[in-house]
Every structure is written in structure tokens, then in C-alpha cells.
Amino acid sequence: MKIIEGGVCAAKGFKASGIHCGIRKNKSKKDLALIVCDKLCAAAAVYTTNLVKGAPIYVTKENLSDGHAQAVICNSGNANTCNANGEEIARKMCALVEKHTGIKASDVIVASTGVIGQPMDVTPIENGMESLVSELNLNGSRAANQAIMTTDTMEKEVAVEFTAGGKKCSIGGIAKGSGMIHPNMATMLVFLTTDIAITPEMLQKAVSQDVKTSFNMVSVDGDTSTNDMLCVLASGEAGNETVASDGEDFASFKAALNKVTTYLCRLIAKDGEGATKLLECVASGADNYETAAIVAKSVITSSLFKAAMFGADANWGRVLCAIGYSGADVDVKKIGVSFASQAGSIEVCKNGEGVDFSEEKAKEILSESEIRILVSLGRGKYSATAWGCDLTYDYVKINGDYRT
């Protein structure tokens, strides 16, 4: 398995594009993306668990009910959420794809991201479709990625090459996500493509399993978005025998999928609104995975701890505090905590109690851009990893006037 170039266009059969159509006032910001495949694909998705859902979620769920899709259209600048005509607009976006590409509207995944509760006019999308389709190309992943960004400060794309059934296969993806990130069952917007031949049922199984250890373990600010969606299209053009059950090929695909999703998780956490540091908490020594996951997630979502990391303050007490209220079944007297980065590592807590350590060394370690929080629970063999970011002054600035 190796990382390759191409993003969502790395897999055979896929093209992508991204343009500015006029949804966003800033003409330098792309705001409409399209991903298409040469053929109908097996498809699967997971969605936000927020009771308030963007209109595109309902339309996409309906379109994917048969386990197949051939295109993805997504706009940024307006979330198309809490609008009286939201579903009508989402369906119109699918119909525009059919009009300009010939792909059935019912085989289109539709998504929107941006401000919630703002009236949305489909006219800019309608006017931009001809240009959007004409710009579809094999190197369009980056443009599509740029078109789905909102407060993101960096593009988030990756692709991986792997083997299944003796055939070379690829899987790639793009993502957007910087704020309102605290997913459960999905996250932000993530579009994945692969050329492995696999049934919709197994594709759904792989994605549903993967998000439990990848995107469900990311948090920037504790807010679960209304528009979170992860979808994957599989063209089958790699030529392998169709994966229809558990086995070596399915395991190979799942490993590649996790390589892609974990890579994107880290980018999303690192690009948290106003963030200066990526936080990775590894909780080990648990007697089951669920306990480890609860502990790791609780640490990286603690506002007090996130603020301490912004200040490079080795306030390990906030780690234990977060574990203590997490609801996890742990023995406090067995907990150990260390901080690590490129500058080294330092133990700050052992058996639930503080140990002598150099504040100067700790400051040096915590001043790096990527920080690891290593929590040992001392009770078993299970571990879990969660990703987050520090809490900075800029987070408040960004969200204080996000709508206006």
C-alpha cells in the first residue's frame, strides 16, 4: 500500500471539477464541485446524527436507497438547511447534473455546506453548470476540493494504491471541515472514490465500520454539523473479482480505506478553526475498545485542556479531569499521562498522581505544531486514537461573525 497523487481522480473512471458560480460573493473562492464516473457505481454513505439535517441529506439518502450512484455535486457558501424549499433546490441540483451530463438525477449524490438558515437561489448553479461540466478532467480533484471549502485554510485530499484479487486498485478522497466538527456516524463532507469491484452491501459495511475508529474520533469544537456526510463510489474498473463477502480482499480494501480516512482525519483536526496545533490522544491499556475511545475523545474535546495546549501549558490535571467525567470505567489510580512531540516526550502523571518533571522541557515539547497525549489506563490490551486541536483566540473571532 502506498500514497499516490490524484485524490478523487486517482481511481479509474473518475473525473472532477470545481468552479466559482456566484453563490459566494468572493469571486476568488470556488463554490461548486462535481465528481463523475464513466459508469454507474456501487455506493455507500453515512450521515450526521443531528436531528436538524440539511435538505441534501434527505435527497441523497433517497437516491442511494438502491446502493448505486454515478456523480456527486456539492456547493459551498450556503448549507441549504432549514429552508422551506431546500429539498426542491437539492433535487434541482441533481436534475441539472442529468441535463448536462446525461447521468440520471436519481444517481446523483448532492451536498451543500456553508451558512445555515439562509435563503438559497439555484440560479448561480444553473448558470454555472455548463462551465462545471466542461472543466471535468482527470486532474480535477484539487479544484473540486477547493470548491467545497468554507473556513478551511488548507486543501484535504489523498489517494492510496493497494492490491485486491491480484489487481492494482486505488482509493482516493477529498474532505472539507474546519469548524462545527464533532461527528457521530459521519463527519463534515468527505467524498471518496475507488475502482475496486465491490458490492454495495460490502461497501456500506466497510464504511460503517471504518468511521467508528476514524471520523467519529475527530472533534474540533463539540458541535455536530447538520450537513455531515461521507460517501464513497466504487467504479469496479480495477478488474478484480467482485468483493461480495469477508476475506482477504475485503480486508485489503478496509486497510486502504482506513489509510485514507485517517489521513483526512488528521488534516481536518489540524485545520480546526483558528487552530495552531494538531492534538492526537492515544488511550491504551483499556479492557475494551469502547472505554479507550471514550477516554481519548473526552480528552481532545475538553475546552480547558485545548486552551492549555494553545498556551503550551503542561496542565495534566485537565487530562485526568476529562477522563473523570467521561463516563469511562477506569481505575484512576492506574492512569499514566505523557506528552510527546518532535521535541521529545515527558511523563507528567503516573498511577493517577503527578511526578516531578521539567516545566521548561514540557514547554518545549508542547510548543510544537503536533502534540501527542499518551494516556495509559493499565487495565487491558485495547487502545483508541482521537484527533483534535487547540482552542485559540481566533476560533472566537472566526465564529463571532461567521454569518455576517
**Contact between 120 and 5 (Cβ < 8 Å):** no
User: How far is residue 357's CA from residue 346's CA, in Å, rounded to a whole number?
Assistant: 7
- What's the pLDDT score for residue 379? 94
81, 187, 194, 291: the catalytic one is 187
Residue 312 backbone zone (phi > 0: left; psi -120 to 50: alpha; other: beta): left
Neighbours of 138 (CB within 10 A): 11
Diameter of the chain by CA atoms?
68
**Contact between 40 and 78 (Cβ < 8 Å):** no
C-alpha cell recorded at residue 75: 456547493
Instruction: Provide the pairing of β-strand 157-164 with 108-115.
Output: unpaired
Q: Is 187 a catalytic residue?
A: yes
- What's the pLDDT score for residue 294? 95
Cα→Cα distances 218→20, 29, 268, 274, 276, Å: 30, 26, 8, 16, 16
Neighbours of 65 (CB within 10 A): 9
192: burial class by Cβ within 10 Å (0-12, 13-18, 19+)? Answer: buried
Who contacts 345 (Cβ-Cβ below 8 Å, separation ≥6)?
338, 339, 365, 372, 374
Instruction: Provide the pairing of β-strand 229-234 with 189-194.
Output: parallel
- What's the pLDDT score for residue 177? 77
CATH architecture of the domain 278-400 equals Roll (3.10)
pLDDT tens digits for the chain (404 residues)? 999 999 999 999 999 999 999 999 899 999 999 999 999 999 999 987 677 678 899 999 999 999 999 999 999 999 898 888 999 999 999 999 999 999 999 999 999 998 888 889 999 999 999 999 999 999 999 999 999 998 788 899 999 999 999 999 999 999 997 654 454 433 379 999 999 999 999 999 999 999 999 988 887 655 444 457 899 999 999 999 999 999 999 999 999 999 999 999 899 888 877 789 999 999 999 999 999 999 999 999 999 999 999 999 999 999 999 999 999 999 999 999 999 999 999 999 999 999 999 999 999 999 999 999 999 999 999 999 999 999 888 877 776 776 65
User: How far is residue 208's CA from residue 212's CA, in Å, rounded to a whole number?
Assistant: 7
Pick the closest to residue 229 from 45, 29, 9, 38 (CA basis): 45
Neighbours of 82 (CB within 10 A): 14
DSSP assigned state of 387? E
**Contact between 224 and 37 (Cβ < 8 Å):** no
C-alpha cell recorded at residue 295: 477516554
Please give the backbone phi and psi of residue 102, each rounded to the nearest 5 degrees, phi first.
90, -5
Q: What letter represents residue 117's amino acid? A: G
- What's the pLDDT score for residue 190? 94
- What's the pLDDT score for residue 184? 44
User: How far is residue 36's CA from residue 137's CA, in Å, rounded to a whole number?
Assistant: 10
User: How far is residue 56's CA from residue 94's CA, in Å, rounded to a whole number?
Assistant: 10
pTM: 0.87
- What's the pLDDT score for residue 180? 47
Instruction: Tell me the CATH number for domain 2-270.
Output: 3.60.70.12
The residue assigned the cell 489523498 is 158
User: How far is residue 328's CA from residue 326's CA, in Å, rounded to a whole number?
Assistant: 5
Same fold, 2-270 and 278-400: no
What is the domain partition of the chain in residue ranges?
A: 2-270, 278-400
Q: What letter represents residue 341's amino acid? A: S
CA torsion sign for 100, 34, 13, 197 is negative
